Structure 1
Amino acid sequence: MTPPDGGAAPAYGIQLPVQSQSTLYAEPWEAAAGPEDLLALARAAEHAGFAYLATCDHVAVPRRLAPAMGTVWYDPVATLAYLAAATTRIRLLSHVAIVGLRHPLLTAKQYATLDHLSGGRLILGVGAGHVREEFEALGVDFGQRGAVLDEAIDALRATLGPDEFPSHHGKFHDFEGLGQRPRPAQERVPVWVGGSSSAAVRRAALKGDGWLPQGDPRDRLPAQIDRLRRLRAEAGIAQPLTVGAITEPLYVGTPEWEVGRRTLSGAPDALAESLRAYPAMGVHQIQVRFRSRSRTELVDQIQAFGAEVAPHLT
């Protein structure tokens, strides 16, 4: 996804409900939802002009975190492949894949196949992870996760590139002479780096094609974006960086139920006016999430945003 020119409307995408059900954001109706709901929402988002669908990644959630995180976390590769077969245009984003949990050759095999099958629609979002027990269960050093991710990005650049026999020689992984086909359909799979810590922002600036913040409020974004630009300029990196933001929860129209203090609601033009603050900061794509009480209401919200809010984001 190429960043829009200055003054252009930002792209807009959505992390799908149902596939991850943290108690921090899941709606009650999602508990009984399933594959047919994911399909309906993915198709609605594509028809409404959304740029991407996003899914999360956790292998296993420990008991101590289950009350907050829940244990419903669909596998991102399987889920995105399922949705790819039901859509034609919309991009497929892992937000984010904890690539340090898996060997780069395994990650590359999965995501290269996904990109091949979807006709080049993958955006690989990566992050360091935060659940110690998850790393320990899979035999990965939690304390080294940042360094592992740094190297994994380099290894994935090679394994998701055009070479049938990629090579990588690093501290954590060393391989060459091992062929993998099919290759990705894209010549260069975009890698968006997630996280808002100092280390994550630096990683995005120096190694990413995009940055996926993790819940930064509006007033914190300008300083983060300035740092991204400064680090990238100091490193002499000329390629554009797609800067993202996660908006406040949204509800298009006047809700007849309690949607929460942080939720932005109201007339489409008022919502668009508020959201235009993001591109004014230098944000190229916004990830939106809607409050809803059912799949039907969420589809209506997606359609209303695409038809009535998005045209006014410029």
Structure 2
Amino acid sequence: MSLLRLGVSLQPRWPLDDGTAVLRAARHAEDLGFDHVAVGNRLLDSGFGLDTDPLVLLSAVAGATRRLRLLTSVLVAPYYPALVLANQAATLDVVSGGRLVLGVGTGWNPDEFDAVGVPLRERGARTDDHLAAAWALWRQRPADFEGPFTTVRAARLGVPPVTPGGPPVWVGGHSDVALRRALRFGDGWYGSGADATEVTGVRRRLRELAADTADADRLTLASAAFLTPPGIPSEVPSPGRALGGAAPSAASVADDLGRLAEAGLTAATLWLPVAADHLEKAMEWIAAEVMPQLA
């Protein structure tokens, strides 16, 4: 079984009167040996937990931790003008010492697209445009880029990223369009609730869509996974297939993760649909009972 790196989503609805609780949880995740923490992208209240800007929150997490990788899971690329996206991501890459992983997607929420004045029908084209522009701005000083939504001439990004070529980009989505986007712009593919069969299928489809199989094989395969540890109540319904089945145990969760690793997954972000005051207990159970079985 290949090494599978586990991260945890900082998703619970944290108490507004204690804004540092999420930072303490991130530090605890680091102490427990998790590989990364992840923050989603919501502009409006979703009812599922933390609804913040991921780049802002992960900047605070960067200052509170030393080793953890910082994953946007996922940042909705059409919400951000390309130059803003490139500069904010480069800034976080610099202040974190190169720990940012930029998970991106096209988004789906009509209410949020209306609120930011971006037509929902343009979300795919804008994602491609913004990623291509960011790629140019991270790699070229000065940079020239002309796309359907972004044009820059002899532009020097305010802060160049510390990671050569810019932070790694994991492209979310399961469609052929999303997989082609990962091949064109990404360093990895990022799924949601994928099982081993789906990961195997994504590897096959990437190879079929790539001009060269080596281009497909270079991509990191990662996915969010959903888990409610035994003895800890769920705060919200799981949005997808639960790791370890309906009544998970350490053995069933480790077996499920092992199958994902054998299929080619190298990173799994555990989304825990539990209350904020139960998150540390849930992380401790994973660290004590599941991680040793994956070593």
Shorter-chain TM-score bucket reads 0.7 to 0.9
1:255 aligns with 2:231: yes
Task: For residue 177 of structure 2, give the secondary structure of its aligned residue in structure 1.
Answer: helix
Supply the distance in 1 between the matched residues of 2:232 and 2:127 (Cα, whole angstroms): 45
2:25 matched to which residue of 1? 41
Q: Are 2:234 and 2:274, in contact at CA under 8 Å, matched by a contact in 1?
A: no
Return the match for 1:290 from 272, 281, 285.
Answer: 272
Residues 212-231 of structure 1: pairs in structure 2 closer than 5 A = 212-231=190-209
2:145 matched to which residue of 1? 168
Offset, 1:217: 4.6
Supply the distance in 1 between the matched residues of 2:138 and 2:232 (Cα, whole angstroms): 48
Q: Are 1:192 and 1:208, in contact at CA under 8 Å, matched by a contact in 2?
A: yes
Task: For residue 124 of structure 2, give the secondary structure of its aligned residue in structure 1.
Answer: helix
Return the match for 2:283 from 298, 302, 306.
Answer: 302
Q: Are 2:171 and 2:188, in contact at CA under 8 Å, matched by a contact in 1?
A: yes
Q: Which amino acid aligns with 1:42?
A: A
Offset, 1:241: 0.7
Offset, 1:124: 0.9
Residues 234-293 of structure 1 deviation map (CA, whole Å, 9 limit, x = unaligned): 476266111012223131xx4276798946355534432232110111111111133545
Offset, 1:139: 3.0
Task: For residue 123 of structure 1, give the secondary structure of its aligned residue in structure 2.
Answer: strand
1:243 aligns with 2:227: no
* Unaligned runs of at least 5 residues, structure 1: 1-6, 22-29
Q: Point out the more displaced range, 125-134 or 82-91.
A: 125-134
1:76 aligns with 2:54: yes
Supply the distance in 1 between the matched residues of 2:17 and 2:252 (Cα, whole angstroms): 32
Return the match for 1:272 from 248, 254, 269.
Answer: 254
Supply the distance in 2 between the matched residues of 1:269 and 1:148 (Cα, whole angstroms): 43
Do the aligned partners of residues 146 and 250 (structure 1) sit closer, same or farther apart at CA in structure 2, a change above 3 Å counting? same
Supply the distance in 2 between the matched residues of 1:99 and 1:279 (Cα, whole angstroms): 28
Supply the distance in 2 between the matched residues of 1:109 and 1:42 (Cα, whole angstroms): 24
Q: Are 2:2 and 2:262, in contact at CA under 8 Å, matched by a contact in 1?
A: no
Q: Which amino acid aligns with 1:308?
A: E
Do the aligned partners of residues 233 and 298 (structure 1) sit closer, same or farther apart at CA in structure 2, a change above 3 Å counting? same
Aligned length: 288
Aligned Cα root-mean-square deviation (Å): 2.7
1:120 matched to which residue of 2? 98
Offset, 1:228: 1.9
Q: Are 2:137 and 2:156, in contact at CA under 8 Å, matched by a contact in 1?
A: no
1:13 aligns with 2:7: yes
Q: Which amino acid aligns with 1:56?
A: G
Residues 200-255 of structure 1 deviation map (CA, whole Å, 9 limit, x = unaligned): 2232233211111133455433222321233235476266111012223131xx42
Residues 67-216 of structure 1: pairs in structure 2 closer than 5 A = 69=47, 73-161=51-139, 163-188=140-165, 189-216=167-194
Q: Are 1:98 and 1:128, in contact at CA under 8 Å, matched by a contact in 2?
A: yes
Do the aligned partners of residues 43 and 149 (structure 1) sit closer, same or farther apart at CA in structure 2, a change above 3 Å counting? same
Q: Are 1:128 and 1:149, in contact at CA under 8 Å, matched by a contact in 2?
A: yes
Supply the distance in 1 between the matched residues of 2:128 and 2:251 (Cα, whole angstroms): 42
1:50 aligns with 2:19: no
Percentage of matched positions with identical amino acids:
30
Do the aligned partners of residues 218 and 32 (structure 1) sit closer, same or farther apart at CA in structure 2, a change above 3 Å counting? farther
Do the aligned partners of residues 303 and 258 (structure 1) sit closer, same or farther apart at CA in structure 2, a change above 3 Å counting? closer
1:27 matched to which residue of 2? none
Supply the distance in 2 between the matched residues of 1:291 and 1:102 (Cα, whole angstroms): 28
Task: For residue 50 of structure 1, give the secondary structure of its aligned residue in structure 2.
Answer: coil
Supply the distance in 2 between the matched residues of 1:108 and 1:102 (Cα, whole angstroms): 9
Do the aligned partners of residues 122 and 218 (structure 1) sit closer, same or farther apart at CA in structure 2, a change above 3 Å counting? same
